[in-house]
Amino acid sequence: MNIADEDYFLINNLSDISHKVKASKLKTLIDKGAYGNYRLLVNYDDDRSFFVFLKNLKNKLRPKNLMIIERDGATFSVTGAQVLDYLV
């Protein structure tokens, strides 16, 4: 499944407050550098996870990492490669 503009990512700020942001808005904000203090939860395929700051996402996210997106109220797993393809 490819990431669509209307999908949602869950982002987290430094105060550990999470909220959803549309994929299209996230892409625009990353391009502008406007969400440098926000981070995304990234998962390995072995149940470990880590946070990546949006400003470092293109450098830290690996193709085999996994992330969760929401579409029409359901959640789906996408690979780091799919996220990078969408954002770059």
Query: Where in 1-88 does DSSP place strands (E)?
Result: 8-12, 18-22, 39-43, 49-53, 66-71, 74-79
For residue 51, the Cα-to-chain-centroid distance in whole angstroms is: 10
- Please compute, for residue 20, the number of CA atoms within 13 A of its CA located in the half-sphere on the CB side: 11
| Distant-in-sequence contacts of 45-53, Cβ < 8 A, 24+ apart | 51/12
Confidence of residue 32 (pLDDT cuts 50, 70, 90): confident
Q: What is the pTM of this model?
A: 0.85
Who contacts 45 (Cβ-Cβ below 8 Å, separation ≥6)?
A: 64, 66
The predicted pLDDT at position 62 comes to 92
